[in-house]
Structure 1
Amino acid sequence: MDHRIIERSGRDVLGEGPTWIPDEDSLFWVDIVGQRLWSLTLADHKIRSWPMPEKICWVVPRAGRRDLLAGFKSGIAALTLDPLSIDPIVAPEADRPENRLNDAKVDGAGRLWFGSKDDRDEDASGAFYRMDGRLVPERVDDGYGVTNGPTFSADGDWLYHTDSAARLIYRFRLEEGGRLGPREDHIRFEDEWGYPDGMTTDADGCLWVAHWAGGRISRFDPAGRRMTSVALPAANITSCAFAGPALDRLFVTSAALNDDASAHGGALFEVDAGVRGMAPVPFGG
């Protein structure tokens, strides 16, 4: 599969969280360590960025609203751009001051699922949360080294979530009302693959997973078997998302962090995946 590098003036220290927002005709993503939000407008290829006062970990659109819901190191806030304003909503981990949020996605019912991690990379203090329109986070799982990549099966019956530090992608049965079934091991990364990072689901129900320290993205079938891989010229590939009106453009983020050898660490890539993604759902609150 072919890939290309999106030309822009800088590179991301820790690019993450690509999110397609159809109302803006734009892909948004964050540089967590660089404390910056980026956007790429697909119609005219315009790239913009906004510096942030602290680490920004993800953004998602909100149903019927112009502001975004954003995860910061300190918690979740309403984020308005142009002019920039940040209005704190809730701090899910005020009791874990060494943690920060890490990766999020909205399910088909408009619920937000997000994780956290120890920002020092020392303790397995990360947790997994669910939040609906009441804006009250509920801790649904705990004990993660690095939470990553929530995504969902094409039929909405399964939620996938990763502990990158354990090299494991889990799956949970997603039940009525957002309840989770037991956690099951779904895909275990081999040592030479690196670590599973962010991921997304295509319309065929296959997972596309970024390989941190593996220099690629891979596609896995619903049974967890690896179907194909796409090598990229950066060691630390962090996440991916389908974008565009037809959801047929796959964008991939990466990190310059801990990558002195690669020519394009921290670049944003576009991969010719040959499949379509699933339509994003805004947060219902």
Structure 2
Amino acid sequence: MSDVISVLNARATLGEGPVWVAREQALWFVDIKGHKVHRFDPATGNHRSYDAPCQVGWVLPSDDGKFIAGLQQGVARFDPATGAFEVIATPEAALPGNRLNDASVDAHGRIWFGSMDDSEAAVSGRLYCFDRGEVRESGLAPVCITNGPAISPDGCILYHTDTLGRVIHQVPVNDDGTLGAPAIFATIDESDGWPDGSTCDAEGFVWIGLWGGWRARRYAPDGRIAAEVRLPAANVTKIAFGGTDLCTAYATTARKGLDAAALAGQPLAGNIFAFHVDVPGAPGNLASLG
């Protein structure tokens, strides 16, 4: 792996949800607390941001050439040409204190996404599946903060994170899109921070961002730690693989919760970082609208 470099001075309060969009050769990500969607073209250095109407947990490319976004109030279509958001599903209309947090797309075009208590106190976060316009609950037990989820390259395993519990679960994905019984994949020591977003590479290894841990970590499919990459920011939120060979790892980070002294010690917090990996990421999928 190469050295870590800062490639975008994003200064995000809560940078999250990086996703490489192959049709544009661009990295998209969000600043949840800044109410922003961002697009970054590494080849040109061009960076553009879009205002979201509220907190936005993720943005993912869809098969109509546009995007699906996870807003605080629900799932929305997002059109970069106009900057407009159109809410199409509100799975937690009865839980105004919740917000959507993280998501990924499987090979069938289904979006797996989670919610969380915005005050990080109530056990009200759930995992959902958005399947061609309809949202259903996953059946997994609620937690305070859901993270991930990540899908194995063969589509057979979903990795689901209980951030405050410091546990990552692996869950079988059945042929019909339902989930089997979860099992513990990995636990995170208190000294290593909290597990945040996750993604899988082409070998089925799982990359985890560690909030408060100053690092991203690669786990083997059997749950052992295979590698770590240290970053110059404490709050590492998620990894995405980009470039024509998917061998550039991009990391989102956050300034949230850092006081003036902490920020003085990590002035690059909130930026986008990049490093080279020998094993490429798994190719991304497009969300299906049916």
Structure 1 pair 140/195, CA: closer, same or farther in 2 (3 Å)?
same
Contact kept? 1:130, 1:140, Cα under 8 Å = no
Aligned counterpart for 2:283 among listed residues 267, 279, 283: 279
Higher mean Cα deviation, 107-116 or 43-52? 43-52
Structure 1: gaps (5+ residues): none
Tell me, yes or no, if structure 1 residue 269 matches structure 2 residue 273.
Answer: yes
CA RMSD, Structure 1 to Structure 2 (Å): 1.2
The answer to whether the 8 Å contact 1:29/1:58 transfers is: yes
CA–CA distance in structure 2, aligned partners of residues 43 and 228 of structure 1? 28
**TM-score, length basis structure 2:** 0.94
Match of 1:239 in 2: 238
Q: How far has the Cα of 1:259 moved from its partner?
A: 2.2
- Residue 126 of structure 2 aligns with which residue? 127
Report the Cα distance in structure 1 between the residues aligned to 2:101 and 2:85, rounded to whole angstroms: 18
CA contact (8 A) 2:128 2:135 kept: no
The aligned runs of 1:14-163 (5 Å cut-off) are 14-63=14-63, 65-163=64-162
- For 2:59 and 2:120, the matched residues in 1 are separated by 23
Q: How far did 1:135 drift? A: 2.5
* 8 Å contact from structure 1 (residues 167, 189) kept in 2: yes
Q: Deviations over 1:143-182 (max 9, x none)?
A: 2111001112222211101010100000101111111110
Please give the alpha-carbon distance, in whole angstroms, between the structure 2 residues aligned to 1:121 and 1:56.
16
**After the TM superposition, which residues 118-267 of structure 1 pair with which residues of structure 2 at under 5 Å, given as runs?**
118-260=117-259, 261=262, 262-267=266-271
The Cα of 1:249 is off from its aligned counterpart by 0.9
Q: Is the 8 A contact 1:238 1:253 kept in 2?
A: yes
Answer yes or no: is the 8 Å Cα contact 1:194–1:213 preserved in 2: yes
CA shift for structure 1 position 137: 3.2
Q: Which amino acid aligns with 1:245?
A: T
Say how many residue pairs are matched. 283
**Taking every aligned residue pair, what percent have the same amino acid on both sides?**
37
Q: SS of the residue aligned with 1:192?
A: helix
User: Is contact 1:76-1:89 (8 Å) kept?
Assistant: yes
How many angstroms does 1:246 deviate by?
1.3
Deviation of 1:225 (Å): 0.3
State whether structure 2 residue 6 is matched by structure 1 residue 5. yes
Distance 1:134 1:50, change over 3 A: closer
Task: Say whether the 8 Å CA contact 1:101–1:115 is kept in structure 2.
Answer: yes
- After superposition, what is the alpha-carbon deviation per residue over 1:22-42, rounded to whole angstroms, capped at 9, x for unaligned? 112211000000111111113
Contact 1:125 1:142 in 2 (8 A): no
1:14 alignment partner AA: L
Show CA shifts across 1:208-257 (max 9, x none): 11000101001111100001111111111101110122111110000001
Q: Distance in 2 between matches of 1:253 and 1:190?
A: 22
